[in-house]
Amino acid sequence: MHGDVPVVEASASDTLSAPGGAKRRLPVGAEPQPRGGVHFRLWAPRCREIAVEIEGLPALALATESGGYCSVYAGDARPGMRYRFRTDTADRLLPDPASRFQPEGPHGPSEIVDPAAFGWTDQAWGGRRRDDLVIYEMHVGTFTPQGGWQAAAAQLPELAALGITCIELMPVADFPGRFGWGYDGVNLFAPTRLYGRPDDLRDFVDRAHALGIAVILDVVYNHLGPDGNFLKCFSTSYCTDRYENEWGEAVNFDGPDSGPVREFFLANAGYWIDEFHLDGLRLDATQQIFDVSGDNIVAAVTRRARQAGRGRVIFVVGENEPQHARLMRPPEQGGYGLDALWNDDFHHSATVALTGRREAYYSDYRGTPREFVAAAKHGFLYQGQHYPWQDQRRGAPALDLPAESFVVFLQNHDQVANSAAGLRMQALTSPGRYRAMTAFMLLMPGLPMLFQGQEFAASTPFLYFADHNPELGKAVNEGRLDFLAQFPSLTDPETVRGLADPGADATFRRCVLDHGERERHAAAYALHRDLLALRRADPVLGRRPARVDGTPVGEQAWLLRYFADAADRLLLVNFGQDLTLAPMPEPLAAPIEGLAWQVLWSSEAPLYGGGGAPPLYCHGDLHIPGESALVLGPGPVTAASAPELQPGWQKKTHERRPGDG
């Protein structure tokens, strides 16, 4: 290799200037050129000699550039051709670290892809505002029996009709094996061949936009999978041992030679937004992304994603187990600029309330009305208090952040699978409680998220599955058992023997949704559909942001009041037995002057599988059925709501004190 030319810097523009007159979208990878041919570029400071071998063409040596980059222009190469790199650091041909497609998986050759060949129809699409989002977490491989983009796209009209406005795709960066969750991806720029070709993903996004649905992607920037990861053949600086990482080596974002590593991941963040028109990112396990530099990589990734959107609304949400609120604050306040974080506190409290189980990381929650009111008003429940389970403080003050900064959920891929049988929540609690908590979650302030199939009470479980080679599979299984051992209920030998094998094809197949359950479980589907319609169309519940206050009204009951200029709404939830609010010295329960409360919606409606609801008023006092939720609005005063209007009613006199005249 020879030569010394400037390093290409990434930007949000359509093309970048590159050595030799090439026009590039990204600083690395194989990119077709406007005049024909393909320009190849990668960062390979470890290699003294490197050549690209393109099918049917002579091998071409790459010329060195400054900073460890190298590149070559292949005039006879074209999209669809496959290629690999020959280096002096490996005894085999290697795929491109920035491959846009791996048709045979991570161990096979890379394929040249032309992103400009797809005919987009979403030119008028501007994205969805954060406040309008109803998120739907999707694992494409199990979302349909076919397990691909085309079959998933065929279900998009149904999701739009349900009221979904944002799909959150579990990771799709290519990984080895026949199936997996995607969190062990190794080809970060290559949509996995398991779900189709790159243009099939583009078509999925294009069709979603036509239906008003945004699409965001879960990306894993905290580690890389161990199988099929050839980055170290090009540079040993991609990872570092200076930090302990739960899933292997940490990525080097702040050490020696970290500049090109940062650029690699920043380019990836912009790539998904730019070339696939995605509407944002979900950043996995940000607490395991280590960076003590002056510009934290999480903040830099968020900026790059927004730049790549070119004016479209871009939504960036993070997972952060320690609940560091600064991730959601704007840069001018020292934050990282994320739009939202997942709210595990709400999930854990809801799980305790629904199941009564308090073990492992559920042990520091009580599932009380006070917790649910606090979650609705303040987001995280732990904002710096001592957290006995970890014997340290959890969270940081977040009282200044709006409710829409927190994603609330009853199910997600992790939490469903972190159990013995991967059962959905409706199988672990009573029908009435499940309907009531669903109503609270979908109507409370915050951004609601459903996990695929939740809307029709899917009977299929969601288990941990990963198709690894035998040696790695054994290690992964042992690690999985170690993780689950924190739950005492999962350590019994009989229970352990019954756990599904993550590497078995049958485990994967058991998790595939049956969309026929939309009709067979029509009551659950109607429940979610009508609640989302209320959230969207009700003149008060549909306001974002909403002015909300709340209070417990019993040992297992609470209310939220939504204020809206003489059109208030009251959301009442009762997890206990039938409850009459008498006496009720609580101003939040008081009706608007001159009016009374009337039922606008009830979780006990027979349409949803409920047993019907008794009258709202009992001798003038509000009456809430057991294990139910009610939405109330203002209505006319009636004899039921005002005892003084009933025949024969007599006003009670006030008690007199001794000495009164």
Q: Which residues are catalytic?
A: 284, 319
Query: What is the C-alpha to C-alpha distance for residues 544 and 100, in angstroms, rounded to an integer?
Result: 39
Phi-psi region of 602 (alpha: psi -120 to 50; beta: other; left: phi over 0): beta
Report residue 530 CA to chain centroid gap: 23
- The residue type at 392: Q
Of the candidates 168, 213, 624, 641, the residue with the CA atom closest to the CA atom of residue 439:
624
Beta bridge partners of 571: 560, 631
Helices (H) and strands (E) in the chain, counts: 15, 32
User: How many residues are present in the chain?
Assistant: 661
Instruction: Using DSSP bridges, classify how beta strands 69-74 and 63-64 pair: parallel, antiparallel or unpaired.
Output: antiparallel
Of the candidates 190, 155, 165, 154, the residue with the CA atom closest to the CA atom of residue 175:
190
Under 8 Å between Cβ of 533 and 601: no
Q: Which helix (H) or strand (E) holds 221?
A: none
What is the Rg, in whole angstroms, of the alpha carbon atoms belonging to the chain? 28
Contacts of 197 (CB under 8 A, 6+ apart): 101, 191
Query: What is the C-alpha to C-alpha distance for residues 170 and 126, in angstroms, rounded to an integer?
Result: 23
Q: Which helix (H) or strand (E) holds 155?
A: none
Count CA atoms within 13 Å of residue 128 on its CB side: 24
Contacts of 401 (CB under 8 A, 6+ apart): 325, 328, 329, 379
- The residue type at 371: E
Q: With H, G, I as helix, E, B as strand and everything else as coil, classify residue 545.
A: coil
Query: What is the C-alpha to C-alpha distance for residues 473 and 619, in angstroms, rounded to an integer?
Result: 65
Query: What is the C-alpha to C-alpha distance for residues 326 and 253, in angstroms, rounded to an integer?
Result: 19
| Ordered strands of the 547-554 beta sheet | 547-554, 557-563, 569-574, 628-635, 596-602
Under 8 Å between Cβ of 240 and 252: yes
Beta bridge partners of 595: none
Contacts of 651 (CB under 8 A, 6+ apart): 644
Query: What is the C-alpha to C-alpha distance for residues 433 and 556, in angstroms, rounded to an integer?
Result: 11
Contacts of 486 (CB under 8 A, 6+ apart): 360, 361
Per DSSP, helices labelled H in 521-623 are: 522-537
Query: What is the C-alpha to C-alpha distance for residues 341 and 309, in angstroms, rounded to an integer?
Result: 20
Beta bridge partners of 70: 42, 64
Phi-psi region of 124 (alpha: psi -120 to 50; beta: other; left: phi over 0): alpha
Instruction: Using DSSP bridges, classify how beta strands 16-17 and 23-24 pair: parallel, antiparallel or unpaired.
Output: antiparallel
Contacts of 531 (CB under 8 A, 6+ apart): 438, 439, 442, 443, 601
Of the candidates 95, 52, 91, 96, the residue with the CA atom closest to the CA atom of residue 74:
52
Taking residue 496's Cβ as centre, other Cβ atoms within 10 Å add up to 13
Q: Say what the alpha-carbon torsion angle 171, 389, 387, 407 is, to the nearest 10 degrees.
A: 30
